Structure 1
Amino acid sequence: MHFPSYLLLRRALLATALVVAGCTATDPLAQAPAVSAREARVAQRLEAARNSPPALRAMLTAFPKGGDLHMHLSGAVYAETFIHEAAAENLCADPVKLLLLPNIGTTKSIPPRPVCAEGTVPAANALTNQKLYDALIDSFSMRTFVPTSGTSGHDQFFATFPRFSGLSKHNLPEWLDEVATRAAAQNEQYLEIMHTPDVVPVARLAAGATLDPANPEPFYQYLLAHGIRDLAKQATDEMQSAMQARREREHCDTAQAQPACQVQIRMLYQVLRALPLPTVFAQSVMAYEMGTAAANDPNYVGLNYVQPEDTLASMSQYSAEMHLLQFLQSKYKTQPRHARLSLHAGELTLGLVPPDGLRFHIREAIEIAGAERIGHGDDVAYETDAPALLREMAAKHVSVEINLSSNDGILGIRGADHPLAIYRAAGVPFHLSTDDEGVSRIDLTNEYVRAVTDQHLTYSALKQSARASLEHSFLHGDSLWSAPDRFTATRSGCPLPARSTDVPGSTCQTLFHSSDKALQQWELERRFIAFEESTLAQPAAYNGLASTSRAQGSQSGRNPSEAF
């Protein structure tokens, strides 16, 4: 099909979808820059490879993806790393339950060896026992998992985390390095990573007073008076040390700097929502306190609530938690630097909970708690007055974090059953993300391939996802774009690059000095050009199978923060 005709047909289909959904949002295609001849030719290459996942993989590995805004650090690390770290830490493994355990002592030998409880073995045994090694990988991930009666993908997915939770927090630099290295290899620029600091001292503090959800002010003042800021400072310092150690591992700021140094990382405080409500609130206060410290330490930029939404605690406390977040938003949102809010909401499906449980999570996250982004949002069609909610999300520019593989593995939502199509039809901004790439055994490129094959996204839609990931990031500063989610004109007279070799002019430099976000957005546009030039330099017969090294090489060693 001739490319302009294809676009016209797609516009007509989207208009039809808006009528069906009862929505009147702006056509998402109208929010993208005009399609250049270069982009149109690359889009044709993608269409030629659409029915070949290997060809798409080869083409899209080097595709500039912007950022991954929905990633849990412990779930992003591959099981192989955990096994090697467990061996180095002299941990033990239960060969039946397939989980890691602390030792009960160590030998006096050099090097020392763990003494393990009866029925368990040194975790290091897995490095010489392939059967144990494979079994632990399968236990720590979705690899080889097949649902059986009584054990669903949901059960296996969430059961993986306690099995490797015994590892030391001293491994944080290695974990950060692993995810950054993987991101750099796929032409990602930015990661927003969820992580839970030590929750034990927070829980102890919360146990010292009584929380009245209808009047949280006294409990809030109790937390401030009894050391919550000290705990926040300690957690912030620990992450700052881990970040510095990660950069040392990658030899950043030296002649031997690794490509991972180019990947900017920010953290979200991961609040455990299924704990008792006072502890949930105390974690949230700590997260906001860490966010206000961002002027001096920008590592923590926001918070998110995690753990399965379908547990008894999560379901029964959900509305109370949203109102407590509303209270905290009123306390902190007026500060120049404050923690931003993204929430797991609607990671549910019919049958997992009663129908009444599907009708309010996304709406309350937005309208009560004030969430700027929604993680998953799988049950949006079951929400009360779903068309109105979709219109509200589009009007407020509340974006949705789309996790195709985990939605399939956990909830069995895939293909036409996935709500991505109605989000797009309603003009709700979206961005592809990984969720837990280590547990799911995927990477972000896999999600882009899946978006093409399962969700029928075009090349233009993939670019929209990448742009939206930076537009809706919690990076500090103004957007490069003059209007939210309309990627047609830049602000402040800072023009887009015309060639992959362009460097920003003086007006852009002024903007970039006050905006990490705008700098990353400008760099993304430059990478799009480099990718498209490289793709078209390959013979058309390859249909996306050409080497990705050229596109990545065009930006290798170039840190966007060094653009001027």
Structure 2
Amino acid sequence: MNEEKFKELKKNTPELIMFLKGMPKGGDLHNHSLGGGYAEIIYEEAIKNNDFYDLRTHKFLNKKEYKNSDKSEKIISIKLLEKNHIEDYFDNYSMRGLKNKKDGASHFFNTFTNVLSTKIKEEELILEILKRNQLENMSYVEMISDCVPTNLIEKFKASFDIDETFNLKKIQSYCKILGKNITKENMSKLNLFLDNREEFLKKNGIRDVEVGYMPYLRRMTCDLEVFFIEAYLFILSSCWDSRIVGVNVVEIEDSLGARRNFQGQLKILRYLYEYFNIMFPKKEINLSIHAGELTIERETLENMQDRIVSTIFLTRNKLKRKFPIAKRIGHGVSVQWETKETLEIMSEKKIPVEICLTSNEIVLGVSGKEHPFNLYKKYNVPMVICTDDEAVSRGNIVIEYLKAIERYDINYCELKCLIKNSLEYSFLEGESLYVDRNCEIFRSEFSGMKTIEELEKGIVANKNLILLNKKLKMQLELEKKILEFERNY
């Protein structure tokens, strides 16, 4: 494959889709487990766990829930749902039903509470996502999911018994309270939970796709006390078990709770970042934060003018912006309402933005030239193509690459760079194959190796180095797969 052949390929969308589906694509670094289950697959689990469906709320009910309900005639049996109202289900469990609604954001976020009503186990959703990624020739997914067991979360919350209103000025003493829970007995709950999930996935045929987990903090639905407790535990968990590769912050930025608590949440994260860096000096503390998922229709200029840069440094105080803390930004759609300094910082410090084109289009109504894709490209800000909530959006990673290529005239070299970015900017442990984040320059051990045969020799010669560096191992595998794909296409 060369630029001329790829240019011809771009003229034929179906053929381009086939090409992209087969092409090795590295990783998806922004994938919510709750948004990754297709309605068609979730339904089969929903009818195993429930007996009724409420046409008013679009939620499932089991017999116990029905007994405690108002028993309205709008609550119908599964049999009646399938006979007369199945389209209501499909339209309200994905963005398929957006055509009948005015507010894309509300419809989008309502699907998640609907999915929860099905009582499907999260491991089933993750299994579906990973199987789909195998079909798409992906090798790695960073999953934003419930990966810290509930019993451990409740243990930490129960121990936080303070006879006062939560006060950020006392955060040091609060850390001492929670620190008493750091025992092998407590933290073994985390290890066992992840062991069981790993065993379930292997038992169900997941072999070719690696997964790294990211627990998520809720900016909208948590008060500062709960946010602090969960942030403490989640960052601790990422230091304790390497299968938890980082921590994410999610939910709607323009909600009242998110607006009111924004600076308080930044202070908590900043303090805990420094706190756990001292406690675990050899561990990388990785934060990827949803930021700038905003438009002028949904938020004020005052709140958008520094949202992304403040998130990167975890402070709105310019004097404290000594070094970036957040390592990736999710969405970043409102960057044009900040100053070019934000883009220059992201470029210089190599802070990538997780680009979710379909999600931005259906939730925010932002696409084409209104999307800042080309602005990031102009300032050489690293970008990673991601899905966000692929099943809710009725998409997948192939569609995301397709949109990037067709809307922003991506050439073949740029496509390969985007693909390689997905592992380079992942939170995989270990050293990188590339020098200074440049995917065209290999480290000295592999310098000048441009053929499959040369790479294979390099891999054998450096097997001990590769065994110690998971990221390097996966990057070499990706380079080899791309060369094999190009040779056979």
Same fold (TM over 0.5): yes
Residue 236 of structure 1 and its aligned partner are, at CA, apart by 4.4
* Distance in 1 of aligned mates of 2:356 and 2:41: 23
> In the superposition, relative to structure 1, how do residues 268 and 105 fare at CA in structure 2: closer, same or farther (>3 Å)?
closer
**Superposition map of 1:100-119 within 5 A:** 100-104=60-64, 118-119=71-72
Q: How does 1:121-136 map to 2 (within 5 A)?
A: 121-123=76-78, 126=81, 128-129=82-83, 131-136=84-89
Find the counterpart in structure 2 of residue 173 from structure 1.
123
AA matched with 1:344:
H
Q: Would you say 1:360 and 2:320 are equivalent positions?
A: no
Q: 1:490 to 1:437 in 2, by over 3 A?
A: same
Measured after TM superposition, the shift of residue 102 of structure 1 is 3.6
Shift of 1:202: 6.8
What is the alpha-carbon distance in structure 1 between the residues aligned to residue 48 and residue 438 of structure 2?
Answer: 47
**Counterpart AA for 1:372:** K
Aligned residues: 469
* Aligned match of 2:361: 408
The question of whether the paired residues in 1 share the 8 Å contact of 2:159 and 2:177 is answered with no
So what's the TM-score if we normalise by structure 2?
Answer: 0.89
1:445-464 superposed matches below 5 A:
445-464=398-417
Q: Is the 8 A contact 1:477 1:515 kept in 2?
A: yes
Distance of 1:476 and 1:491 partners within structure 2: 20
Distance 1:48 1:236, change over 3 A: same
Hey, what's the Cα distance between the residues in 2 that align with 1:523 and 1:438?
Answer: 28
Q: Give 2:232's aligned residue.
A: 285
Verify the 8 A CA contact 2:24 2:481 in the aligned structure 1.
Answer: yes
- Name the counterpart of 1:524: 478
Q: Which residue of 2 aligns with 1:438?
A: 391
Q: Does 1:376 align with 2:331?
A: yes
Distance 1:269 1:232, change over 3 A: farther
User: What is the CA-CA distance between 1:88 and the residue it aligns to?
Assistant: 1.6
Written as runs of structure 1 = structure 2, the 5 A alignment for 1:479-558 is 479-493=432-446, 496=449, 498-499=451-452, 503=456, 504-535=458-489
- 2-side partners of 1:365 and 1:105: how far apart? 41
Aligned to 1:61: 21
| Partner of residue 245 from structure 2, selected from 296, 301, 304 | 301
Q: Which residue of 2 aligns with 1:27?
A: none
Partner residue, 2:36? 76
Q: How far apart in 2 are the matches of 1:82 and 1:464?
A: 35
RMSD, matched Cα: 2.5
Whichever residue aligns with residue 471 of structure 2, its letter is K
CA-to-aligned-CA distance 1:306-341 (integer Å, 9 cap, x gap): 111110001111121111111011012352234411
Shift of residue 45, structure 1, vs aligned partner:
2.7
1:183 aligned to which of 101, 110, 133:
133
Correspondence 1:222 to 2:177: yes
Which string of whole-angstrom CA distances, capped at 9 and with x for unpartnered residues, describes residues 217-264 of structure 1? 1222222235798766434432331121011011xxxxxxxxx41110
Aligned CA distance change for structure 1 residues 248 and 495 (closer, same or farther; 3 Å)? farther
Give structure 1 stretches of 5+ with no counterpart: 1-38, 107-113, 251-259, 536-564
Distance in 2 of aligned mates of 1:99 and 1:105: 11
Q: Is the 8 A contact 2:358 2:387 kept in 1?
A: yes
User: Once the two structures are aligned, what percentage of the paired residues are identical?
Assistant: 25
Residue by residue over 1:348-391, the C-alpha shift from the partner in whole angstroms, topping out at 9 and shown as x without a partner, is: 011201111111221111122610000000011112xx211111
Structure 1 distance, partners of 2:405, 2:249, is 30
- What does the per-residue CA deviation read over 1:128-154, in whole Å, with 9 as the maximum and x for residues that have no partner? 43x433221210110131264xx4111
What SS class does the counterpart of residue 460 from structure 1 fall into? helix
Matched, 1:249 2:204: yes
Contact 1:206 1:282 in 2 (8 A): no
2:319 matched to which residue of 1? none
2:412 aligned with 1:465, yes or no? no
Higher relative contact order (CA 8 A, sep 6+): 1
Q: Matched residues in 1 for 2:106 and 2:159: separation?
A: 30
1:487 is paired with a residue whose SS is strand
Does structure 1 conserve the Cα–Cα contact (< 8 Å) formed by 2:50 and 2:63? yes
1: CA distance, partners of 2:449 / 2:93: 44
- In the superposition, relative to structure 1, how do residues 203 and 276 fare at CA in structure 2: closer, same or farther (>3 Å)? farther
Measure, in 2, the Cα distance between the counterparts of 1:236 and 1:167: 27
Q: 1:87 aligns with which of 43, 47, 60?
A: 47
In the alignment, the residues of structure 2 paired with residue 364 and residue 268 of structure 1 have an alpha-carbon distance, to the nearest angstrom, of 21
